[in-house]
Structure 1
Amino acid sequence: MKLFVRVVETGTIASVATREHIAPAAVSRRLSELEHALGAQLLVRTNKGMTPTAAGANLAVLARDLLDSLDDIAVRMAEYSDGRRGLVRVLVNISAVSTFLPPIIRSFTATHPGVNLQLQERESLAITEGVAANVADIGIFTSLPYSADIEVYPFRTDRLKVLVPDDHALAVHPSVTFADTLDYEHVVLRSGTHLRLQMLTAAGRLGKSLRSRVEVASYDALCRMVECGVGIGILPAGIAENYRLSGARALDLDEPWADRELSICVRRLDALSPSARLFFDHLRADV
């Protein structure tokens, strides 16, 4: 098609052969094969050179459109090869998606509009296993023991707080221990979250049980429940700061396990797609 268009544009086989570095006989043979394949005469040979027939003129228009489309494909594929276009699959836990990620995603999508991010919320252990199984390119989880074959990098740190209603007995204290909270009803996250497991483990070490009146699926619901006086709750400091609650306050949790590390995991950093590597570098930019 390219040779055919060039012949129509120049009117001679010889000039096209020189330009494309191919023998004139080979150009002529390919044009004859094209005419045979399409079952129509495309060019007329005159003393002034090659001129297209009606069929040839129509084919020249179609061929130019085809060649332009092929050029566009090359440009678009180049955008994928350098990361300007692509899909990045990300598994995140509830703490990361509720605090640190929204502004990071906003800035990334603003500078890389051709990259789509597919976020799914999972429990931290499931995130490590999902990344190892190639369910996702990148995972963000609360650091915990894992057995998955992955690479792990630091991301952010957060600290747990105790959220209590303004009129609660604990509200007069700037900080409390976890043991102090176990005398009261808790609003807890759904079963399986890393924080829920931490609380149950800590209660067991103290020889007490965790009294949970209500189980919720999000920190937003937990905050609203506490604000309404349903119980008290434990949550990351960043989330407590995000919700401007008029009827509750956040107290420091005086426990070693109240300081938590959030990490990024990948199967292999050097195996990430260009777009996934761009997002990984963006996540790590401020670490």
Structure 2
Amino acid sequence: MEDLEHAVQNVRDLAARRRGRIRVAAPPLLSSVILPQAIAAFHNEYPGITIELIDKGTEEIVASVVAGNADCGLGTFSPTDEGIERTLLMRDNLMLFCPEGHPLLAHPAVSWSDLHDLPLIALTRTSGIRLLVDVAAEAAQLSMKPAFEVSLITTALALVEAGLGVSVLPTYALTAARHYAVSATVLGDPVVSRDVVMIHASGRSTSPAVNSFSAIVRSYAQKLTPLRNVKVDASASQPAHGRM
């Protein structure tokens, strides 16, 4: 009877968000720009619940969530990924990152056609961001030959800072960009957006703790989205609360 009462109390504690553990999987950059402040805020509200952060690649995130090795995952995922359900956190625009003082930053608006003949610092073709860049460039009838192809957004930003080219990166790269002498502006004609989502395994109910954590992450994620067609100085683009 004591064991049964203890088990019932554990369930009540979990339902009341007094204790438990959440395992969240996310790619490295999102792990560093969104989750730290969100986790801190969650711990302040629910100190008895432990967050276990697993930073890994997008394909591994989906596999971990489907297999039950992670309770939820964060990122951008292909519509063809199966076995997961999605909760929208933010809509992310592709932005142009340039060295400080670049002539394009003086334009009232920047379009894809303005990138003609500029050296491009691109992510590798294994990146979903690169796929969006290629599709948008084709739609704008723009032939883009990368000067460099790199795997990490931080490497792309360092190359931009060195004046070796410009780069098209997602909005959340603004947070990493504060460490570099670069500025950014939203690209138009076309504006390219993608959804950053929280995922969990299909057919499994999410715990109250995961639902509360998802709401907090969403509030922090949405602070990263600037207004369209508004020039953003990356060094001053961080949200005032917590400087995410």
User: Do the two structures share a fold, i.e. TM-score over 0.5?
Assistant: yes
| Contact 2:25–2:61 under 8 Å retained in 1 | yes
| Contact 1:187–1:226 under 8 Å retained in 2 | yes
**Residue from 232, 236, 242 that aligns with 2:166:** 232
**Residue from 150, 157, 170 that aligns with 1:215:** 150
- C-alpha displacement of 1:207: 6.3
Structure 2 letter corresponding to 1:199 = V
Instruction: Name structure 2 gaps, 5 residues minimum.
Output: 223-244
Q: Is structure 2 residue 169 aligned with structure 1 residue 197?
A: no
- C-alpha displacement of 1:165: 1.3
**Mapped partners of 1:112, 1:220: distance in 2:** 33
Deviations 1:53-85 (A, max 9, x none): xxxxxxxxxxxxxx9xx8xx7698454564433
Matches within 5 A, 1:6-21: none
**Mapped partners of 1:269, 1:153: distance in 2:** 14
Q: Is structure 2 residue 82 aligned with structure 1 residue 139?
A: no
Q: Quickly say closer, same or farther: Cα 1:177–1:126, change in 2 above 3 A.
A: farther
- C-alpha displacement of 1:95: 5.6
| Contact 1:226–1:232 under 8 Å retained in 2 | yes
Deviations 1:215-268 (A, max 9, x none): 142x33332321121221122334326634674321221143522221121114
Q: Quickly say closer, same or farther: Cα 1:106–1:242, change in 2 above 3 A.
A: same
Which is helix-richer, 1 or 2? 1
**Residue from 177, 184, 194 that aligns with 1:243:** 177
- Choose 252-261 or 121-130, whichever is displaced more: 121-130
Deviations 1:18-67 (A, max 9, x none): xxxxxxxxxxxxxxxxxxxxxxxxxxxxxxxxxxxxxxxxxxxxxxxxx9
Q: Quickly say closer, same or farther: Cα 1:199–1:231, change in 2 above 3 A.
A: same
**Residue from 221, 243, 261 that aligns with 2:195:** 261
Query: How much identity, in percent, do the aligned residues show?
Result: 25
**Residue from 139, 148, 152 that aligns with 2:82:** 148
**Mapped partners of 2:161, 2:100: distance in 1:** 8
Structure 1 counterpart SS, 2:126? coil
**Mapped partners of 1:153, 1:192: distance in 2:** 24
**Mapped partners of 2:119, 2:191: distance in 1:** 21
| Contact 1:156–1:261 under 8 Å retained in 2 | yes
- Choose 266-275 or 189-198, whichever is displaced more: 266-275
Q: Over alpha carbons, which structure has the higher Rg?
A: 1
Number of the residue aligned with 1:116: 50
- C-alpha displacement of 1:107: 0.3
Of structures 1 and 2, the one with the larger relative CO (CA 8 A, separation 6+) is 2
